[in-house]
Structure 1
Amino acid sequence: MPEAQPLENDVDPTLEADVFSRNCASRGILQNVTSRWGLLALVALLDGELRFNALRRRVDGVSERMLSVTLQSLERDGYVNREMLQAIPPRVEYSLTEMGRQVAQQLTTLIDLVEGHVPAVGDAREAYDGHHE
């Protein structure tokens, strides 16, 4: 009987991480970290612990549901801590784990690089649009 082939979404945890490999677990992790809201939530938490609504205000434009889903993914991956505070009404604070802090610092470098290139990107877009009208 032939051996069953792994499904495309199966992940082999024994393989060395290689983001270019279709079945590598790092792809899903990278997707959580580099999603629009994941990236912004991680970097916003570099400043320290934030309650949910404060984090939502800091990450302007994110819906309550999207932020909740994003934080759950980041907590599951070990990048974010969620702490339930004993208060009335109950409060929840989010903070970075050490691993989350390391990733957020790298993302900050990327953000700084991208922000520094905004004028050049604007020029490139104008040139591109001028050639493709």
Structure 2
Amino acid sequence: MRRPLDPDMFDPACPSRVTPIRIGDKWVGMVLICLEDGPRRFSELRVPMRGVSPKVLTETLRAMERDGMLVRTVYPEVPPRVEYELTPLGRSLFGPIEACREWAANHLPELIAAREAYERREAVVD
């Protein structure tokens, strides 16, 4: 017999509520990887992240800054130059990111097979 789910498992006071990285937040992971070798400008980040809109990238960078994962530096130049750089807290996420990348590499064939099987089942239902 399965034990019942704890009604307080998603309690608002739970520390997991403030965790800045959520599984599936692809933009944060990509920003972290882009900043691994040092500071970058917004326009530099957009090149490899061509699938993200400027608005979403801006929101992602602001959220990461708020969470202490990166710093935004504005240089007093004309036009102003802005760079984003990881903090030690942001850099501490490379271990978990590497674990996720390794998991994906090890399980990609299974994942693709499961998706294809699902799509075949859905095609029959429709």
How many residues matched?
114
Name the structure 1 match of 2:53.
Answer: 63
The amino acid across from 2:16 in the alignment is S
Matches within 5 A, 1:116-127: 116-127=106-117
Contact 1:39 1:104 in 2 (8 A): no
- Give the alignment's TM-score, normalised by structure 1: 0.71
Deviations 1:32-52 (A, max 9, x none): 685221222122211321101
Matches within 5 A, 1:66-81: 66-81=56-71
Q: CA RMSD in A?
A: 2.3
Name the structure 1 match of 2:80.
Answer: 90
1:131–1:68 CA distance, 2 compared to 1 (3 A): closer
Moved more, 82-91 or 33-42: 33-42
Contact 1:80 1:95 in 2 (8 A): yes
Q: 2:24, 2:116 → 1: CA distance? A: 27
The amino acid across from 1:82 in the alignment is R
Among 8, 11, 20, which residue is 1:22 paired with? Answer: 11
The gaps in structure 1 that reach 5 residues or longer are 1-19
Deviations 1:75-128 (A, max 9, x none): 011001111123221111101100100113322331232144322211222233
Contact 1:79 1:99 in 2 (8 A): yes
Name the structure 2 match of 1:12.
Answer: none
Describe the SS at the equivalent of 1:81.
strand
Moved more, 119-128 or 65-74: 119-128
The amino acid across from 1:22 in the alignment is D
Name the structure 1 match of 2:29.
Answer: 39
Describe the SS at the equivalent of 1:58.
coil
The gaps in structure 2 that reach 5 residues or longer are 1-8
| Cα displacement (A) at 1:130 | 3.9
Contact 2:72 2:82 in 1 (8 A): yes
